[in-house]
Structure 1
Amino acid sequence: MTERRVVVVGYEAAELLDIACITTSLEIANLHGASPAYDVRLASPGGRPVRCCSGLTLLAQEALERVTGPLDTLVVVGGTGHAAAAGNRLILAHVRRLSRESRRTASVCTGASVLAAAGLLDGRRATTHWRWAPSLAARYPKVVFDPDPIFIRDGGLCTAAGVTSALDLTLAFVEEDEGAALARGVARNLVTYLQRPGNQAQVSMFTDSPPPDNDLVRRTVDHVTGHLDADLSTAALAARAGVSERHLTRLFLRHLGRPPARFVRRARTEAAAHLLVSTTLPLAAVASRCGFGTVETLRQAFAARYGVPPSRYRATHSSVNA
């Protein structure tokens, strides 16, 4: 193989950052000595220019219908035009065809809707931008959409969350193809993390939504986030709120989409993540401040939430000197 052929599928109102994260990262990988080198092409229906949703226009290098395999990687990007793209029979037919001729197929953000419409994600777990996950899940019930991870691999199919997660996915591809050392060189050149773990959460619970409308739930949430080292069992929270555990659970599910125990565990884990990257506190102190009984309990929570132990998370994300 003299080159790794990578085709990025664009369309009207595609997201420029989705495209650039892929193309720029692979070009830098070439500069760092990727061998075989990546030959990256932007393809569009008819080879027409891709007017991005930002208003900027990119010249396509290939007509989608003229691209032939074999390909190393096929990537469908997202953008505000994803619904129209997912309804375009020409795009779906050629994405389906090229996927069969590719070593791996991927989507970024709402590009998952195109893969789903093509039937490529049926029976699989996939991710997309958290804001679009509910509507795509309703539209494509054969796909199990998980709005949390940065990216998901399911066999030869990969789906990434939103916008800059394309960077994480591409770095993961480079590491898989060329090893960690070259991927680190690309990351340093891009002035970014080597790679966020694929199942790291897309957004924080403290910023992903406004406070709940229900007064009782809002007061309980405020108590939880302000007293992470206290007894935050469902029984204790229900007693403090003056309601039954069953009723409190119903309210949390209705307004927050998760029961109290899961909310508490996520709040404690995200607070611990913040302390790990912003302080030099030892793990035992972090665990204690955030309400974890032991360091092992903290490790288990991190493994479930971020896919890495707390020590690894601190090493790759810390903003202070250890």
Structure 2
Amino acid sequence: MLVGMIPHDWDSIMVKDVVNLLQEAGVNRRDQWLDVIEDTKCSEKVVKAIADHFPLSGARVGTRDDDGDYDPIEIKDGRIAAYEKLLYILPPTQVALNTAGDPASLNCLLASLDRHVCTEINLWQTYYHPTEDIHPIVDQLLSKVWSPDLSVYAGPLSDSVLSRLQRVRSLRYISLSISSNHQATLLMELITSTSFKDLEELDIAVTPEVQPAAITTYISCNYNIWVWLYLLDVTDERVSWACEMVANLIKPSQWEYHIGFPRSTLDEAGWIRMIQDLGQRGIKNIGGMSVPDTSISSDQEDQLDDICCDTLGAYLVRHSFNQWKK
């Protein structure tokens, strides 16, 4: 009933009273306030009143939450329009951009983000479905919202992205899509020129357009991080390509490497050939190997897991790879 009162043209005092009553009724989480904005025709007066109650513990620039961690406000698909209204009013805040849709949908936020600090940028569409060239809209978006305080990035790698990543103070998670030899060259430069002292996880997705010869540097074993390597669209004709790519990127060590094969069309015999080829190339003691659940049965999974363990010192599991599906 209170929410139904919001669209009325109240004066500022009445607006504050209604919003205060909403909080007393139990509306106190970020998602609840966003629901109020999205479900009503909020005037600017209402949004300003909501901003006074919008929880920002750990999200304010220079602050942390009760556990000592940063807690940026997360802008994801379905919440963009509400945050466009709020960001103009909220005090300088740490923001996490997290979209699985078209990155162009974030363009409406560019002006309202000027006062805030982006600590996370996740453009999942460009990561799971990479293209050889970074789209101008994506490059424009990154140039507007990039911050040296960035800690999480998922998306394409370009010359400009490389330059920005090299200037970031403390990266924790990186997910990069590599779909050309030029991008592979940029990856090599990033690995050799960037201090990953705070990095916890590095995810790399490589498409068949990349030639193994473009990979000239191991992911150094000096970094104590998880490495997830995804090789896309592996067919029977590309088994050697995949094995050479793994061997070029991964140096046998005690690291926790994991290899995945989204959209692969190999069958049981193909996976056995893959495992044996990797073993012959000296790939040992990796963490695990994930194959599409459509490529083998659960019984075949058990058999392949034994072979993988004996040959590579790794477990093998079936995985859906739903995000990678075209």
Range class of TM-score, shorter chain: 0.3 to 0.5
Q: TM-score, normalised by structure 1?
A: 0.35
Q: TM-score, normalised by structure 2?
A: 0.35
Taking CA–CA contacts closer than 8 Å with sequence separation of 6 or more, which of the two structures ends up with the larger relative contact order?
1
